[in-house]
Amino acid sequence: MNHNPTAFYRDPASTVAPRPLPERIPLETVIENLHARRTRTRTWLALSAVLVILVLVIAPPFISVRRYKHRITEIVSASVGRPVRLSSVELRILPRPSFIITDLVIEEDPAYGAEPVLHANTVTASIRLFPLWWRARLEISRISVDEASLNLVRTGAGRWNLDSFIRTTAVQTQSRDSSSQPVPFPYLEATNSRVNIKDGVEKLPYSLVNADLSFSQEAPGDWRVRLKGQPARTDVNLDLADTGVVRLEGRLRREPGLPHTLIHFDLDWRDAQLGQLSRLLLGNDQGWRGDLAGEVHVDGTAEAAQFNTRLRASGVHRAEFAPASPMDFDATCKFVYHHFERALEKLECYSPVGEGRVRLTAAAPGRGASSRLTLELDRVPAQVGLDALRTLRSGLDPTLEAAGAISGRITYAGTDTSAAPPLPTPTGKAGTRAAKAHAPQPGPLSGNLSITGLRISGDALPRPMQLPKVTVEPAPGLPSALLATVAIAEGAPTALNVTARLTLNGYQVGVHGGAALARLRDLAHLARVPHASVLDQIEGPPATLDLTANGPWLPSPAPLSQSPGAGATPDPVMARAVDASDRIGGIMTLHGATWKPDFLASPVEIGSATLRLDEKGGRWDPVGFSYGPVRGSATLELAAECQADAKCAPQLTLDFGSLDAAALQAAILGARKPGTLLSSVLARFRPASSPHWPELLGAVRAHTFVLGPVTLNDAVAAVRLQADSAEIESLDAGLLGGRVHAQGSVTPGELPDYKLEGRFDQLNAEEVGQLVGMTWSGAAIDGGGELEVAGFTAQDLATSAKGSLHFDWRHGSIVENGEIELPPVLVKFDRWTAEAAIADGAITLTKNQVQRGPRKVGVEGSAAFGDPPRVALGESPDTRAATSRSKP
């Protein structure tokens, strides 16, 4: 064997000398060459990547897609199955190829209104890369919006615009474009958006805010939806943290034939607070407190869906009090609903309540067929019913407790309107016999509820009410109403009959019979009857009652109006519920009663009195009374609501035939201490000596009012009485043959202060002269003045009196009586005008002028307070000087 290595390089047929072998290359050199080559490759790849990134970042702003705007609009419209409008489109490559659409508007199906389904300022439409690369086909894979506004519309027929959207999109996804390929539906998602709810063309105030929503089609006809948001109401300020969070996850799979479409939904509403929930649903806070959570699970088809619901509440109570054991409940319901038939069947709800249970079963076949509902209560504590009523309604005594249990069954069977109408009744004798043969048709309600061992107690009831058994049954002749009648012996010859009629919307209670006044006060305070405190100071025989009360269980919700928009100030009228207060009407009659208020020294004897109650308030008919030797009649009106202080105060009217100040003084003071009428009345305004007077507006009328030597005729005074002061707004009366018009005020203090100002017209000169013990004659006297006094006794009033007086007396004459020396000018004059100052216990003439013919002179004089007053008159110094100069 030849081992010459050159033999491998020699061609036997060649005559050329063989090539020598190359030199051996070291392994280290080979490795270095490989490393250098890889380094150059990596460098080029890195530079290429950087270049591509720079192109992707820098190039898109310079790439114009305006000429493709129409095509992009068509693609988005075909993707969502609705007409689309947009303002502008930009291309973005990173982080993934997409279009940035400005001012996107998705139009609505005209059958659901003219307002767009969705509006968003900025939208990101992601592009499918594979169809674009492989087939040069532009498709949208995802449409993402943020802070969008979405409208959900429900028509009067019960259809939603999403149903039309799904059907339209399903048809369009089966269509073919120019490439005969299906149009894929994109993944739709919205974040931080608002979902508005419309009833036809009217936008309701209810909405979901901070909503996250996604809508997708995972396979043809297989739809999925996810939703999370916070319920809100646009016309009421809400604390969104307490309205809870709503979450919805659903799946809808379309099958041949709409009734066979498969549906599955899971809905839950958690962390809701009852106060904010009542504001959300009813428009105002009903005063409920507690936590609420609910969930609904729906499975089945569009034709027959199985519903399973659960509603849990804990710590339920009213805001104004915290009971020892708040009301909790955990109710579960299940039923089958047929959408196309509008029918409900196999409804069954169950909830444990205390030591008992509540069960509700119902069926509503739909299409006019008879509906049936049965409510069963088994040993439900009566206290639970009281707590539920106290939670729904404000004003019930929080100390009220009820012992006993409620059991029974009530069934409602509706009228079958799908049945054929009855045949016409024959007329004549045959028709009369047929009508007598048929019994009257029973009402829709049947069954009864029994309340056994009922015992009602509380702080307002010194003696508990015992009702061994109360039966609640259908009201005869009143469809859909329950009736309960109870006779209670309350210390009167006749029992107090209480009849309660209950409906789904409200109640009506009638009270007829007699009751002792002490028991009547307890019941009035327990029921929070307006102005019940009036009964606290009345004693006497039992009263006769004929009263009715009615009202709704819940206030009516505020009217729903067009949303005012974000940031708008809610209308305070809209924020309040529609007036739904209780209404009490009827009469209460008293005979031979005694009224002893704290602010009067003696009791008032009442012969008979009738209190009438209606929606305007209460009114005591003219009540004949006697207060010691004083007799008169009084009318008192009590307003149901107070809009202002002037309208809030009760209206009192007192009428007297003849009233004597001395008799009134004796009635007020009794035999306790002597004093004047005015001092005793004023002393009543001192908080340290007696309770405050009630606030009221009064009118006092007297045919004659004898005030010492003066008699006021047909006196009418308007008085505003307050807790510690009084104002005489007007006083009009006949005085000394003329009229007096005055007004004044009383200010309490260590020494009460009184102010009075007014005028007098046409006073008879002869009667005025008799008042001061002189003989006057001539024309009438006019004038006026003001007076301020302070104190309690006559001496205090006389020494503190200050003020002014002015009068005008024409064609007058004063006759000397031997006791008072008169200036000659006053014997007969044409006109006397004067001003006087009231101070230091007397009235002193200041500036005055007596005119007789062309002569005008002044006089001086005073009248010291007393009985009778001490009068002194004389010539002024100027007149005496002029007279002395004229003598020879």
Please name which of 863, 831, 861, 864 lies closest in space to residue 849, comparing C-alpha atoms: 831
Give the pLDDT of residue 333: 94
Higher pLDDT, 309 or 220: 309
pLDDT on residue 648: 67
Strand pairing report for 187-199 and 140-146: parallel
Residue 6: the pLDDT is: 43
Whole-number pLDDT of residue 578: 36
Q: Which of 86-90, 486-490, 836-840 has the highest mean pLDDT?
A: 836-840
pLDDT band at 649 (very low <50, low <70, confident <90, very high): confident
- Quick one: average pLDDT of 787-800? 77
Handedness of CA 551, 555, 560, 564 (dihedral sign): positive
Cα–Cα distance for residue pair 450/458, rounded to 1 Å? 23
Which residue type, as a one-letter code, is found at position 796? D
Read off the pLDDT of residues 615-645 as tens digits, 9 standing for 90 and up: 777 788 888 888 877 888 888 887 766 654 4
pLDDT (0 to 100) of residue 179 = 45
Least confident range of 253-262, 495-504, 874-883: 874-883
Q: What gap in Å lies between CA 864 and CA 28, rounded to an integer? A: 144
∠ CA 74-75-81, rounded to 5°: 85
Task: Say which residue the tokens 């089958």 belong to.
Answer: 336
pLDDT of residue 133: 59
Task: Kindly state the helix (H) or strand (E) to which residue 46 belongs, with its residue range.
Answer: helix 27-58
DSSP for 791-836? -SSHHHHHHH-EEEEEEEEEEEEEE--SSSPPPGGGTSEEEEEEEE
Helices 69-80, 161-173: axis angle to 10 degrees equals 110
Which token pair is 309?
């619901």
> How far is C-alpha 231 from the chain's CA centre?
21
| pLDDT at residue 180 tops 60 | no
Contact call for residues 138 and 75 (beta carbons, < 8 A): yes
**pLDDT over 90 (residue 268):** yes
The residue that leads in pLDDT, 772 or 148, is 148
Q: Give the chain's mean pLDDT.
A: 77
Give the mean pLDDT of 301-310: 90
Q: Which of 555, 578, 564 is nearest to 233 (CA)?
A: 564
Tell me how far apart the alpha carbons of residues 459 and 226 are, in angstroms, rounded to a whole number: 53
Cα gap 183→173, rounded to integer Å: 5
pLDDT above 60 (res 71): yes
Task: Give the separation between CA 116 and CA 148, rounded to whole angstroms.
Answer: 12
**580 or 111: whose pLDDT is higher?**
111
| Distance between CA atoms of residues 633 and 842, nearest Å | 39
* pLDDT score recorded for residue 675: 43
Q: What band does 733 get if pLDDT is binned at 50, 70 and 90?
A: very high
Tell me the torsion sign for CA atoms 130, 136, 142, 144. Answer: positive
In whole angstroms, give the CA distance from residue 255 to residue 237: 44
Give the H/E segment covering residue 573: helix 572-575
| Per-residue pLDDT, 837 | 92
When mean pLDDT is compared across 63-72, 234-243, 369-378, 431-440, the lowest value belongs to 431-440
Apex 253 CA angle, 250 and 254, nearest 5: 135
Residue 687 has pLDDT above 50, yes or no: no
At residue 566, the pLDDT reads 38
Residue 641 pLDDT: 63
Q: What is the pLDDT, as a whole number, of residue 141? A: 79
- Asked if the model's pLDDT at residue 378 lies above 90, the reply is yes
- Residue 266: pLDDT band with limits 50, 70, 90: very high
* Sign of the CA dihedral running 135, 139, 142, 145: positive
What is the predicted pLDDT for the residue at 308? 95
Whether 336 shows a pLDDT value over 90: the answer reads yes
Q: Note the pLDDT of residue 375.
A: 93
- At residue 45, the pLDDT reads 66
Say how many C-beta atoms besides its own lie within 10 A of residue 531's C-beta.
16
CA–CA dist 216, 389 (Å, integer): 47
User: H/E element holding 102?
Assistant: strand 98-106
pLDDT tens digits, 799-835:
888 999 999 999 988 887 766 777 888 888 999 999 9
What residues does 593 pair with on adjacent strands?
Answer: 606
Supply the pLDDT for residue 784.
92
Full DSSP string of 348-413? EEEEEETTEEEEEEEEE--TTPPPEEEEEEEEEEHHHHHHHHHHHSS-S-TT-EEEEEEEEEEEEE
CA distance 253 to 264: 9
Residue 310 — very low, low, confident or very high, per pLDDT cuts 50/70/90?
Answer: very high
pLDDT at 428 over 80: no
**pLDDT tops 60 at residue 440:** no
Closest listed residue to residue 441, CA positions, set 465, 473, 474, 469: 474
Q: Specify the pLDDT at position 216.
A: 84
pLDDT at position 7, please? 42
Long-range contacts of the stretch 89-96 (C-beta < 8 A, 24+): 89/65, 90/60, 90/61, 90/65, 91/60, 91/63, 91/65, 92/60, 92/124, 93/56, 93/57, 93/59, 93/60, 94/56, 94/57, 96/126, 96/127, 96/129
Query: How far is it, in rounded angstroms, from Cα 550 to Cα 584?
Result: 7
**For residue 339, what is the DSSP state?**
T
Buried (b) or exposed (e) across 76-109, using 16+ Cβ within 10 A? bbbbbbbebebeebebbeeeebbbebeebbbebb
Answer whether residue 136 shows pLDDT above 60: no
Length of the chain counted residue by residue? 888
For residue 870, name the pLDDT band (cuts at 50, 70, 90). Answer: confident
Comparison of pLDDT for 462 and 740, the residue scoring more: 740
> Percentage of residues in the chain with pLDDT exceeding 70?
74
Question: Residue 13 above 50 pLDDT?
Answer: no
Average pLDDT for residues 516-534, to the nearest whole number?
76
**Counting Cβ atoms within 10 Å, is residue 448 exposed (0-12), middle (13-18) or buried (19+)?**
middle
Residue 573 confidence class, pLDDT cut points 50, 70, 90: very low
Banded model confidence at residue 879, pLDDT cuts 50, 70, 90: low
> Which pLDDT value is given to residue 165?
66
The predicted pLDDT at position 880 comes to: 55
Tell me what percent of the residues of the chain surpass a pLDDT of 90: 14
φ, ψ of residue 412 to 5 degrees: the values are -110, 125
At 561, the pLDDT band (50, 70, 90 cuts) reads very low
Residue 179 CB contacts under 8 Å (≥ 6 apart), including other chains: 135, 137
The set of long-range contacts for 720-728, using a CB threshold of 8 Å and a minimum separation of 24, is: 720/649, 721/693, 721/694, 721/695, 721/696, 721/697, 722/693, 722/695, 723/692, 723/693, 723/694, 723/695, 724/685, 724/687, 724/692, 724/693, 724/748, 725/685, 726/685, 726/693, 728/756
Q: What average pLDDT does range 307-314 have in this prediction?
A: 92
Give the model's pLDDT for residue 294. Answer: 92
Mean pLDDT along residues 713-718 = 90
Q: How many CB atoms lie within 10 A of CB 724?
A: 13
Q: What is the pTM of this model?
A: 0.65
Please, which residues bridge with residue 382 across strands?
none
